[in-house]
Chains A and B, each alone.
Chain A
Amino acid sequence: MSVRAKTAIVGAAETERIGVVPNMSALEMHAESARLAVADAGLKMSDVDGVAAAGLSPIAVAQYLGITPTYVDATAVGGCSFLLHVRHAAAAISAGLCDVVLITHGESGRSHVGAPPRVADPASPQGQFEAPYGTLGPPTMFPMGVLRYMKEFGLTHEQLASVPVAQRRWAADVPRAMFREPITVDDVLASRLIAYPMHLLECCLVTDGGGALVVTSAERAKAEPGPKPPVYVLGTGEAAETPLVSMMEDFTTSKAFQLSSAKAFAEAGIGPADVDHLMIYDAFAHLPIYGLEDLGFVGRGEAGAFIAEGNTSPGGRLPMNTNGGGLSYTHTGMYGMFLVQESVRQLRKEASAQVPNVDISLAQGVGGMFMAAGTLILGTAAAARV
């Protein structure tokens, strides 16, 4: 059974403030965005019968909001968790398990208010076989394959630096983006090294914020239309490779990206050429490069030049990360929620940096350090043919 266009995102919202929000806990960020998303859908909190969350327990979120859910999804596989939540909700709703699923994110990634601590267990595989070598958070693990990629495919430091430059061009038109000043390749290469070959401007922001989505059946979206046009779930995928970056099968590609996106394309019945707008999780500058290749938008080794030539920038033929991305817009820690928010805005024609004629948007998320992946292909009613 395909779940293509059986469900739709009918509500979507971010917290009113994102960036530096020291006077709000992570839990309240889940809740505020939940209230806004439910209102955006034209629904009441009492209409929600399913809750999904990552970072905090969906049960904690549900109880805080006064919901007693009969469907819960606590899938927590890092920053792409929310894309998996949409996938699971689409399947569950299509199977009749639930009717209205609320998916929430809130993270005090910068201010650490009410945020659960990250603890590494010295007896875990990472604790035994990675931590003794001085790993310190994502910058010391995620870019592990970049030098290998450079050697295999000739990617230059300048091409890598063109990724944050391209995304800053989008951010210039996005008032909510944390950084909006134009930057050049030279600026990026002159910023301090965090973990060679990655400079500061090639690493994501660290911010506070939240977001929420409301998913229901396409039938209900049609029978009881809300204030906003439904965004249909056309194709979904998920995959997981390894929690240890050192165990990646091939350091120049993400197996999880490949598997997850292939499932989504197959379900949607489309290919990369049909995608009007693209979001690829950019915790670091190399992720869009891996993503463009692993999803089949360009050939192997071509993504660096493709971005450097402006193809993903404003006016380019493949608009990508149009909110400015994790590199310029916001990055709370589990940024995937914001990918979906921007895809929804583009499909509703309400984005700050609106791209003309967007009928199909693809959001590609990552979790951990190429640990997991989630893909959503979303579309307008015209694309869904409903």
Chain B
Amino acid sequence: MSPTNEDNRPKSVPKPTPETEYYWEGTALGELRIQRCNACGKAYFYPRPGCPHCSSTDVSWVTATGRARLHTYLISHRPAVGFADQVPYAIAVVQLEEGPRMMTNIVGVDNTPEALVLDMPLEVAFESRGDQSVPVFRPVGSAQ
């Protein structure tokens, strides 16, 4: 019922659109770029030209600090394509210091309920997905 270990297909690769291209150029450079609305002042994610809070299109790109907290997660025991070697693995939502939340994976720590404590401080790292780079998060201070 789920992909087997013989399935060697890679993890899902994001395909940028014209509206998200600058974000993906950033991740390739090791930068987490988010947007801030100049009209209402709120930061937001995921990237799009109009602010989801006030609909203004007067928005700017900013590079996030990469500091975040673990907001919530689950631990999947069935592998998505490309994740067979990692089962069980956490799929998490983190809250960036700037406010927005995003889905991610947690690296540099066992993906167990004991090791993954809600609200623990995290920092951004990057992992490749095909020719793209995606932001993932690790516990602060866990970098080798």
A151-B118, A198-B74, A247-B101 known; A134-B79 Cβ under 8 A? yes
Query: In the complex the two chains form, is A136's CB within 8 Å of B16's CB?
Result: no
Other-chain residue from A122, A134, A244 in contact with B13 (beta carbon distance below 8 A):
A122
- A149 to chain B: closest residue by CB: B72
**Interface assignment of B75: CB less than 8 Å from any CB of chain A:** yes
Q: Which of A35-43, A189-197, A303-311, A328-336 contacts B (4 or more CB under 8 A)?
A: A189-197
The interface size of chain A toward B, counting residues with CB under 8 Å, comes to: 37
Query: In the complex the two chains form, is B93's CB within 8 Å of A132's CB?
Result: no
- B74 to chain A: closest residue by CB: A195
Complex Cα gap A244–B46 (Å): 10
Query: 1/0 contact trace for B61-100 toward A, CB 8 Å?
Result: 0000000000111111111101100101101110000000
The interface size of chain B toward A, counting residues with CB under 8 Å, comes to: 40
The interface residues of chain A lying within 8 Å CB-to-CB of B105 are 133-134
Complex Cα gap A145–B83 (Å): 22
Complex Cα gap A143–B93 (Å): 12
**Interface assignment of A139: CB less than 8 Å from any CB of chain B:** yes
Query: In the complex the two chains form, is A122's CB within 8 Å of B73's CB?
Result: no
Complex Cα gap A198–B77 (Å): 10
Complex Cα gap A136–B129 (Å): 16
The interface residues of chain A lying within 8 Å CB-to-CB of B73 are 144, 147
Q: How far is the CB of B78 from chain A (nearest CB, A)?
A: 6
Q: How far is the CB of A333 from chain B (nearest CB, A)?
A: 15
Q: How many residue pairs between the two chains, A and B, have CB atoms under 8 Å in the bound complex? A: 119
Complex Cα gap A147–B93 (Å): 11
Query: 1/0 contact trace for B42-62 toward A, CB 8 Å?
Result: 000110000000000000000
Query: 1/0 contact trace for A123-161 toward B, CB 8 Å?
Result: 101011111111110011101111110010000000000
**Interface assignment of A246: CB less than 8 Å from any CB of chain B:** yes
Within 8 A of B (CB), among A177-215: 192-198
The interface residues of chain B lying within 8 Å CB-to-CB of A129 are 14, 45-46, 102-103
Query: In the complex the two chains form, is A123's CB within 8 Å of B17's CB?
Result: yes
Query: In the complex the two chains form, is A251's CB within 8 Å of B134's CB?
Result: no
Q: List 29 A-B contacts (CB under 8 A).
A: A120-B12, A122-B13, A127-B12, A127-B14, A127-B15, A128-B46, A129-B46, A129-B102, A131-B80, A132-B13, A133-B136, A134-B11, A134-B82, A134-B105, A136-B78, A136-B79, A139-B78, A140-B80, A141-B91, A145-B72, A146-B72, A146-B74, A148-B72, A151-B118, A195-B74, A195-B75, A196-B75, A196-B77, A196-B88
Hey, which bits of chain B sit against chain A, CB under 8 A? 2, 11-17, 20, 45-46, 71-80, 82-83, 86, 88-89, 91-93, 101-105, 113, 118, 129, 132, 134, 136
